[in-house]
Structure 1
Amino acid sequence: MTTPRCDYFEAGRCRSCALIETPIAEQLAAKDARCRALLPEVPAAVWLPIVSGGERDFRNKAKLVVGGSAGAVTLGILGPGGIGIDLRDCLIQEPAIRAAIPRIAAFLDDTGLAPYDVPRRRGELKYALVTAAPSGALMLRFVVRSEHALGTLRRALPELRAAVPEATVLSVNLLPEHVALLEGEREELLLGSSLTMELGGGGSRAGEPRADGSGVALHLRPQSFFQTNTTVARELYAQAADWVARVDPASIWDLYCGVGGFALACAPRVGEAGASGSDARRVLGVELSAEAVRSAERSAQDAGIEARFIAQDATAFALGAAPADVPELVIVNPPRRGIGAELAAWLDGCGADRVIYSSCNPESLARDLAAMPGLVVREARVFDMFPHTNHLEVMVLLERR
């Protein structure tokens, strides 16, 4: 494949994809080498081939800053002085998102609402957030400043549905403060409740069905987290499921479980061999976000998957557990800061036979692994979740020494 050309990058209007002029093979090799260098104690033989995230049409979520002026909005980023830079033709977005952006912009123009002017701290429209499912269905969320904007968008719901008919979830998030946040706490649903992300079969290679021919679908509520590259997310969950199938633990905790991707990929289904009774694999997901937990519970129920989920801080949950409740395998998928010293020390001494650690920051992963000398990396893999940038996902299978 040839490296995609980006008019925005070449014109100096957007530099978010800092590596876009580097051939993808070189990007992949550099990311793989970086992770190996940060983890020098991991033998070369245990590194699996890096998983590519594609070159274009791979990003399933657009975080579009609303700029410009009332009746002539831009959707993209803010440039110097808070001037809106329109990126509606950005090639990293999935085609369903790219096709919808001009219609979203036209709808916002018709509302007459003014974009939020960051330097002057006035205006209404802050962000348009668009998430695409593999089916082409969309979740569309607007982040606004006031009740006035919320009311305007609610009254314009028929026009919005006509403009973006593929949107199965529509909502408005209120963020009245002048703060460097993407969204506020209050979310008002206008249509639907969750977006269905069809991910193929858990417990098999990515995208393949389970033995019964069915697949796993995750339900995303508006404030739930999901990986930005659906193809790589499939591979990530499938790799974890392969490791779990290989060691066949009787019990699993999925800490920082989000909407339950790892737990649902590794848990048994009702009716599968060994999925019922006292010998069933017990899977528990722990996640601080109650919205994400509700999403995970619905996904499990709809798919007939035997997994439980609770809304609680992952570290507090683990540190407060009785020794008899510690599972045979723990999955952790923390934010960029990593799991931290307390949870690393607990994992090192808790007695769990194995840990699967999925990280979006190899530096914090290296720091956390150094704090767990009782565990050794048996297999590792890099996933190019964020092509054309220096960001990546790396996952390791740890076993007790």
Structure 2
Amino acid sequence: MQVSDADIVIEPVEGKQGRATFVDLGREFAAREAHSIPQLRSEQLELIDPEKNPFFGHATVQLFIACREGKPVGRIAAHIDHLALELPAEQGMGPSTGMFGYFDAEDENVSRALLSRAEEWLREKGMTRMIGPLSLSIWEEPGLLVKGQDHPPMIMMGHHPAHYADWIESGDFTVTKRLFTYDLDITSDFPKIVQRIVASGERNERIRIRPIEMKRWEEEIRVVLHILNDAWSDNWGFVPFTEAEIDHAAKKMKPIIKPRLNMIAELDGRPVAFMMVLPDINEVLKKVDGRLFPFGWFHLLRWLRKPMGAGLRVPLMGVLKEFQNSRIASQLAFMMIEHIRRNALSDYGSRRSEIGWILDDNKGMIAIADTIGSSVNREYVIYEKAIGVS
């Protein structure tokens, strides 16, 4: 039996307790999915805390919870990234573009009510276009999973039931961008052409592929993220990292960075490219059910010291724009991938890696993924809708 929207009440989330309810509701929805991985509750709370997540330094955010007969039945975030408003519209964001994220709903009526409330809030703020889901930043968990529900997500990737796509699309949303992740067996050598390209680069005295130096971590992460800000600046959906976000990322990422899995490529002594690889912490979070206490912290710390056999994810990679249309760009990419592959096998006995997300129009990265023999294993979608002006 269909329940009318009149039975659904949408309330704004306020304060610490409200944010806790918002997070716990999302955890309840996630627990229903067969391959979802419970994340650390403390980390989830931090992401929506204005005092702890530097994203709030350039964004206006409103969280909402839907209730039916006093029971929470859905949630959504409506937000405006003020840095994104300054970007060219052809890059996916731009003037008058608001966003939604953290979308969960009990049924289609709840979905409709939540999306309508987020749309209303954005329209009241002067937005004329709505995109999402983005939870919250493009750098956190972008997109709705539409293919790949049959296996667990890797670190920092969302997991959603298949029917969410139908519910969103029934609200006049259309696909604006697709994001892919690629699965790669790293136990096998790459094709001969890649081996020749790597060997040629290793003979080139101008090129140096080196691990990130943890003794200089603060400096190194700035090198990486400043290359990223340049390399990705023309990409769809790009929003530059602020200095506060770089500081925050440096602190949060350091415990899971393994130097020999993260490479910086230098040309004539100058850092021009990087590849970041993270061991899949979701593997241990699944074992401890996303809880640090009473014994989860012990298992987590032991795993962090030596994540043997861990799957790996390549979340970020970049080459300075001035080199992107040259042969050396792909050569540096193949060299970093191969050096990391060797180290992952010898140091951790890893067997699998996931590359992405990769934009559906990023022909260079798709070509690299295809050449090394990887294949698409998950697809995410970002939707858009014209919402007019109130």
Query: TM-score, normalising length from structure 2?
Result: 0.34
Query: TM-score, normalising length from structure 1?
Result: 0.33
The structure carrying a bigger helix percent of its residues is 2
